[in-house]
């Protein structure tokens, strides 16, 4: 059934009161269950699980993945099967929409853990206590929700802005519950099958699961004489290197540097294949280009020139050249310059985001809008924001000062800037489904750094606040869009968003310590484990790079790094201008090229292969009536979600098993 909506003429000529009356009479479903106990609990549980996968992928790629449609499909399939078995009444479309609101909020709330907070720990060398992380993320995320309340009436009710991602979710929900249920079950089965197969593969390549199976369950260390568990090598080139040692075969090198030291490995990483399928061939190719330039061309030259060298750790041990050392000693600087410049040019090319955001805030109520508020009993009262924003703003500034040493005055000064940038970001989400939190946070970093360059926390934490507040405000409104389309109560979705914040924090802060800050044999945790071969933390590396530029300037860098940064800035401007001038036909992205510099090249290659596979399949199956089109084109998202969730959940489980069995 087609979703009813206003015409363009009605949007531009009707008053908000008229639009509210039309929506209340034609769309609103006040008698339908929405935020029920089961939808809240389902969203809480799904949100925790999907937030864990988001943290896992974010630590590997620096990219926050959306989990809304995945939660819609999973919740629909779960309750449809329980309904068929007579165990539960069928899930309503509004209950499912509320579930996706909770799950989406949980998925996005984890972003500081692999960006600003991780960067702060790397720069300061201090591990933030778990309870401080939980309180800070919860308070700042709630502030984002409170900031969004007053914008809802303007962006959604009055301006009827598209919010493309939210609208897509609304269309999928409508199709599932109005005769297209078979399609939803097909996608759910596809997701489940791929997730099970991927989880099985991930278990075979995981040391923890194999140790549990072979040593704890089968006792093969006792009767088979095994000292180490057998695992299939995820790095497929490992088999060649093992044979090369025995047979004295050729070891590939570039200018005398071993491929392995450069990070040039071939890894069958299922999660990265799925991420690549979702990001598309253009973005994946841009990342691959950045990786090729950096690790195949520039890094070997810089190693030969002596600008990237082995170093001596504080313990006196020699730290050999590796991918992480290449990035930290040299490559990070031009990669970060490329990403920051590309983000700012892209943002500056959209002046309508600033003008529309200004109009949205300053727009005045007309006489025709005055009088009785027809939706007062289902909208969130504005006084909640008028009271809540100052209270939570002051609370956020105070805990930022108390927990991280940011001067209280500086934390307070950043609040108005945070609000303005949040409005811009939310407007961007409304028009394009793009949230420029990365580029906006850099504005905050440089602004705060200009005031206080001596303390890295002074620019990292206010910028982290900007990113988190903007993300939550934009995503709340994007979540409310499908609810508005389907006739739901805004209050219920707002409460759902707050539930999602709690779910994400409770699920992912303990997981953060387990995955990235495991204790050593003496029970001591160290920030040295935050960045590893498995988890590159590229977003944190970018935040750290900007913070160090602000704190130290460019002094002490080798001249080659400064020259590379200059070329990166010019190249980023050229790439973004070409993309803008060609209206997207030129598809290389400066931000993605820079991302390829800080990502492990093996992950970048796996993402590109995933993107290439689905791109070729889309070219192969063009007939919308064919089974191939249904499976590989329409089923791309559930297949990729299955690859990501199966690999991520099994990978997280492997870390837990390793901790438990040692």
Could you tell me the CA-to-CA distances from 623 to 172, 489, 629, 633 in Å, in that order?
Answer: 21, 39, 6, 10
Whether residue 131 is predicted with pLDDT greater than 50 in this model: the reply is yes
| Predicted pLDDT of residue 492 | 85
Name the range with the highest mean pLDDT among 6-15, 371-380, 500-509: 500-509
Could you tell me which of 503, 493, 479, 509 has the C-alpha nearest to residue 49?
503
Could you tell me which of 210, 188, 245, 121 has the C-alpha nearest to residue 525?
121
344-387 pLDDT, tens digit each: 787 676 665 455 545 544 554 444 444 456 777 788 887 888 88
| Predicted pLDDT of residue 55 | 86
- Three-state secondary structure readout of 595-636: HHHHCCHHHHHHHHHHHHHHHHHHHHCCCCCCHHHHHHHCCH
**How large is the average pLDDT for residues 434-440?**
58
Whether residue 321 is predicted with pLDDT greater than 90 in this model: the reply is no
Whether residue 25 is predicted with pLDDT greater than 80 in this model: the reply is yes
pTM attached to this predicted model: 0.73
| Predicted pLDDT of residue 184 | 63
Could you tell me which of 185, 191, 148 has the C-alpha nearest to residue 473?
148
Q: What 3-state class would DSSP assign to 254?
A: strand
The mean pLDDT of the chain is: 80
Residue 456 token pair: 């890295």
Stretch (H or E) spanning 593? helix 590-598
**Candidate from 241-255, 550-564, 567-581 with smallest mean pLDDT:** 550-564
User: Which distant-in-sequence residues (6+ apart) come within 8 Å of 526 by Cβ?
Assistant: 127, 517, 520
In this structure, what DSSP letter does residue 585 have? S
| Predicted pLDDT of residue 609 | 95
Alpha helix (H) residue ranges in 67-180: 68-84, 93-108, 116-124, 130-152, 164-177
Whether residue 596 is predicted with pLDDT greater than 70 in this model: the reply is yes
Whether residue 295 is predicted with pLDDT greater than 90 in this model: the reply is yes
Stretch (H or E) spanning 319? strand 318-319
- pLDDT category of residue 434 using cuts at 50, 70 and 90: low
**How large is the average pLDDT for residues 57-67?**
72
Domain boundaries, the chain: 15-181+380-437+465-516
**Taking a C-beta distance cutoff of 8 angstroms, is the pair 637, 69 a contact?**
yes
Q: CA 115 to CA 112: how far, in whole Å?
A: 5
| Predicted pLDDT of residue 255 | 92
516-539 pLDDT, tens digit each: 888 877 778 888 888 887 787 887
Percent of the chain scored above 90 by pLDDT? 13
Whether residue 581 is predicted with pLDDT greater than 80 in this model: the reply is yes
**How large is the average pLDDT for residues 167-179?**
70
Could you tell me which of 164, 98, 89 has the C-alpha nearest to residue 489?
98
Q: CA 535 to CA 537: how far, in whole Å?
A: 6
* Phi and psi torsions of 201, nearest 5°: -60, -45
Whether residue 497 is predicted with pLDDT greater than 50 in this model: the reply is yes
Whether residue 157 is predicted with pLDDT greater than 90 in this model: the reply is no
| Predicted pLDDT of residue 200 | 92
**How large is the average pLDDT for residues 158-173?**
71
* Phi and psi torsions of 235, nearest 5°: -80, 100
Q: CA 566 to CA 588: how far, in whole Å?
A: 19
| Predicted pLDDT of residue 368 | 41
Q: What 3-state class would DSSP assign to 172?
A: helix
């Amino acid at each position: 059934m087609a979703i009813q909506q206003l015409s363009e003429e009605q949007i531009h000529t009707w008053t908000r009161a008229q639009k509210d009356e039309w929506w209340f009479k034609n769309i609103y479903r006040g008698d339908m269950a929405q935020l029920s106990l089961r939808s809240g609990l389902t969203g809480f549980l799904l949100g925790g699980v999907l937030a864990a996968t988001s943290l896992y992928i974010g630590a590997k790629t620096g990219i926050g993945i959306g989990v809304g449609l995945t939660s819609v499909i999973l919740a629909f399939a779960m309750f449809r099967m329980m309904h068929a078995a007579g165990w539960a009444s069928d899930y309503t479309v509004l209950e499912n929409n509320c579930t996706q609101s909770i799950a989406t909020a949980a998925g996005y709330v984890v972003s500081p853990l692999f960006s600003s907070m991780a960067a702060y720990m790397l720069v300061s060398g201090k591990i933030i206590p778990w309870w401080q992380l939980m309180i800070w993320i919860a308070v700042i995320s709630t502030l984002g929700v409170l900031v969004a309340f007053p914008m809802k009436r303007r962006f959604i009710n009055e301006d009827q802005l598209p919010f493309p991602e939210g609208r897509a979710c609304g269309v999928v929900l409508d199709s599932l519950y109005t005769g297209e249920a078979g399609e939803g079950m097909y996608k759910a089965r596809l997701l489940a099958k791929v997730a099970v197969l991927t989880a099985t593969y991930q278990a075979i390549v995981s040391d923890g699961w194999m140790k549990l199976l072979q040593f704890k369950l089968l006792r093969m260390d006792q009767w088979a004489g095994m000292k180490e568990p057998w695992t299939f090598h995820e790095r497929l080139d490992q088999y060649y290197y093992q044979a090369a040692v025995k047979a004295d075969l050729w070891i590939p090198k570039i200018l005398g540097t071993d491929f392995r030291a450069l990070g040039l490995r071939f890894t069958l990483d299922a999660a990265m294949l799925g991420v690549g399928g979702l990001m598309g061939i253009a973005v994946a190719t841009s990342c691959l280009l950045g990786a090729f330039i950096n690790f195949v061309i520039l890094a070997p030259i810089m190693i030969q020139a002596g600008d990237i060298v082995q170093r001596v750790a504080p313990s006196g041990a020699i730290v050999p050249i590796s991918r992480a050392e290449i990035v930290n000693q040299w490559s990070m600087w031009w990669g970060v310059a490329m990403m920051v410049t590309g983000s700012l040019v892209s943002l500056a090319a959209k002046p309508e985001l600033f003008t529309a955001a200004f109009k949205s805030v300053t727009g005045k109520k007309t006489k025709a809008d005055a009088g009785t508020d027809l939706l007062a009993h289902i909208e969130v009262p504005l006084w909640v924001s008028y009271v809540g924003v100052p209270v939570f703003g002051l609370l956020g500034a105070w805990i930022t000062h108390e927990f991280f040493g940011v001067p209280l005055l500086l934390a307070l000064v950043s609040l108005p800037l945070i609000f303005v940038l949040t409005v811009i970001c939310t407007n961007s989400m409304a028009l394009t489904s793009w949230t420029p939190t990365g580029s906006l946070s850099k504005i905050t970093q440089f602004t705060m750094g200009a005031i206080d360059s001596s303390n890295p926390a002074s620019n990292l934490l206010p910028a982290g606040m900007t990113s988190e507040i903007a993300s939550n405000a934009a995503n709340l409104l994007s979540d409310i869009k499908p609810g508005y389309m389907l006739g739901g109560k805004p209050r219920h979705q707002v409460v759902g968003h707050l539930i999602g914040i709690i779910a994400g924090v409770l699920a992912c802060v303990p997981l953060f310590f387990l995955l990235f800050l495991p204790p050593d044999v003496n029970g001591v945790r160290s920030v040295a484990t935050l960045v590893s071969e498995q988890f590159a933390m590229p977003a944190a590396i970018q935040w750290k790079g900007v913070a160090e530029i602000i704190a130290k300037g460019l002094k002490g860098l080798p001249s080659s790094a400064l020259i590379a940064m200059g070329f990166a800035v010019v190249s980023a401007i050229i790439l973004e201008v070409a993309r803008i001038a060609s209206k997207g036909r030129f598809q290389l992205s400066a931000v993605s090229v820079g991302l390829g510099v800080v990502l492990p090249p093996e992950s970048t290659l796996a993402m590109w292969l995933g993107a290439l596979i689905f791109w070729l399949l889309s070219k192969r199956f063009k007939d919308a009536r064919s089974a191939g089109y249904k499976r590989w084109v329409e089923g791309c998202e559930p297949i990729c979600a299955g690859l990501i969730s199966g690999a991520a959940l099994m990978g997280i489980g492997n870390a837990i098993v390793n901790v438990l069995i040692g």
